[in-house]
Structure 1
Amino acid sequence: MTAGSPWFRTTNLPDEPEPQPTPAPEPAAGPAPAPGPGPLPGVVPPAQAPYEAETAVYEAIPGPDAYQGVPGPQGPYEAPQPAAYEPSGSAAYASQPPPPLSYEPAPGPQARHAPEPDPVFLPQEPDDETMALRTVDQAPPPPPGPGRAERRRAAKRKGRGAAPEPPAPAQPAAPLSRVEARRAARAAKDSVGVVLSRVVGELFITFGVVMLLFVTYQLWWTNVRAGQETDKAKERIENSWSHDDRKPGAFEPGEGFAIMYIPKLDVVVPVAEGIDKNKVLDKGMVGHYAEGSLKTAMPADKQGNFAVAGHRNTHGEPFRYINRLEPGDPIVVETRDAYYTYEMASILPQTAPSNVAVIDPVPKGSGFTGPGRYITLTTCTPEFTSTYRMIVWGKLVEERPRSKGKPDALVG
């Protein structure tokens, strides 16, 4: 200890060996430890005197009464330096000296007090508005869909033909407010544009269905009905030939009196008096021009032009393919008494309906130059229209009584 210490007297003390100073350990590499806690605020540390040489001697202390009062501080106060220490770990750390601290003298015992406690923060209760916002913002997310493994298992079950798992029951929807219900009701109602578009769409659909039915009737059903009518007409004509002794002469409009054969086209069709559309042509028969200025000769006449008309499309369409006839192809007309065989001579692909000269006794444009026994076939062209007329002419080459049997054109 240093001589002159306020706590010890240095008289009458035996000599003691001089202690050797202990070298301070060298600081190890690494972060410096945090300085120890300093003095509490308001607390004045006791004054300490600097130590002197280690050769000081101590005075023997006979007893407790040997202690003397502690004098006041000698000189200015210096902050104590923290001692070096070694941590419990493998590395030793040396403390670094903290910056010097200065203290003001304490005013007295009254200034000393306990340190203030740390503040305690209590949770604050949120108000209604905060809770409402938190309820909306923190709404639970929707349940996730099936994962990849679930989808694979479902695909395997579907491939094996297994019944799929029933879907999870749907969560009940939250009830709508009155305003939302009104908006939903207005949205469910169709606008005027939607209703009008539906009406127009239904009209178009109805029109399309009607047109489809009409086309089906014209192209298919009229032919079916015409086939039934022509079969009945041929039966009536043949029966009249077998049981009626009346001589051939004038026939009533619409009355059948002959049967026409076109072997190349596989056509067998009755021939009726007149060219009335409803009574003759629409029933699938061929009509004979026999009225007014359009009256033409009969097959039994010694000269003249036997002119007939027939549909090219629909209603039996007996003359649909007369454009395929070539010169020399036979056309046979069977009557009560005989078979009249004509050979196709020429064709006029298109002419106006007003060109009635094509059915004259010596038809113009046919190539015939003088009177004779001719036949003329007329029909509409192009197909499925009645804009123009197609004309086919032929010349009589054989008249064969029915008693002698069918001509070679029908037998072959």
Structure 2
Amino acid sequence: MTSKVISIVLGGGQGSRLAPLTLTRSKPAVPIAGKYRLVDIPISNCLHSGIDRIFVLTQFNSASLNKHIKNTYHFGTFSTAFVDILAAEQTPTSAGWFQGTADAVRQSLHHLAVHEFDYVLILSGDQLYQMDFAEMMQQHIDKGADISIATIPVDAADVPGFGILKTDSESMITSFIEKPKSNFESWASEVSDEMKQQGRVYLASMGIYIFNRKLLYDLLESNDYPDFGKEIIPQSIEGHKVLSYQYEGYWTDIGTIPSFFEANLGLTDDIPKFNLFDKNYIYTRARMLPPTKVSSTRFEKSIIADGCIINAKIIKHSLIGIRTRIGFNTEIESCYVMGSDNYQTLEEIDEARKNHLPIMGIGDNCCIKNAIIDKNTYIGDNVTINCAGTLPDGDYPTYTVVDGIVIIKKRAVIPSGTVI
């Protein structure tokens, strides 16, 4: 069954709501959980579901994503499996950028045509969840659907942020409304008793679709609508069998800095909603890193990735990424420190110290709270970040503040004694 499926992961647009994390990389390439990239989530879900022919569509800042895909997803010489990047390109029939989700797939159809498949699974590249797409695919086939949409029950407070669907007794979608702000009580659908008890009685689109091959080509070639959620899906409901695949597990759309921050720190919970230790683990690039070395540090509800050198006083409710160096007597609380792409040599460290410059990582006697420290940053000694009350939003040369969260930009240099 899954051998008849090709998956397309939508890399997203410019990712402005995740800035400054997307200033130099595409959304799917943003580091998550200390050692992975966002794109690893949908790809891992596909591979665990037996779907191993995957295209990733992207157009903004795609260099780091291309490198990650190339270095991570290798298959046997005689395998038909692949994970390939399809970047926006000028062709005789299309000279512009992708204008939306549907337009991105439309411009890529000629790349799909050389493969044999009956179904196309379309996924977002910036969501955190674990789903067996084989179950969704089986329901699609069993019910003779033309299109299937993964849906998740949400409560009234979340309704204005989603496209909301109404279903009949057979789980077929009968109507759709895009992000209703009020008077949506009549849009409640049949959900499980557990969801009813939580007040989650509205079905929201998760942006995960299955299309029959012929229908997808017909829909995309007969019009120039740019988006699936806003145009293609709503206009397909009346004339086609559009099925709701109801999912009740953990799922979050990582489209903003607060949602990204919350999703990462949530991984440090005693029993996190997203299970990193599940048998269906996340695939990512295999790095030959040494184990983490710790000296006299107190840890509370934290995750520490490989290759770190940690001398901090305390690390609390934080996620520390690969190759992170943290100095003596430093306190870190509610932070995501992404780590580094490489180590400085001893010669480089000595040279920096002779010139009174910060070395890569976080120095001695620092206090950092409610912050995201992007990769390859240089934070000196006696630096204080977000430790004295909530800061107003703003964008500055080396950092950005969003909803009280300080984001230290990639490769930023924060001199010793700095207070943010």
The reply to whether TM is greater than 0.5 is no
- Structure of higher CA gyration radius: 1
Tell me: higher relative CO, structure 1 or 2? Use CA pairs within 8 A at least 6 residues apart: 2
Structure showing the higher strand proportion among its residues = 2
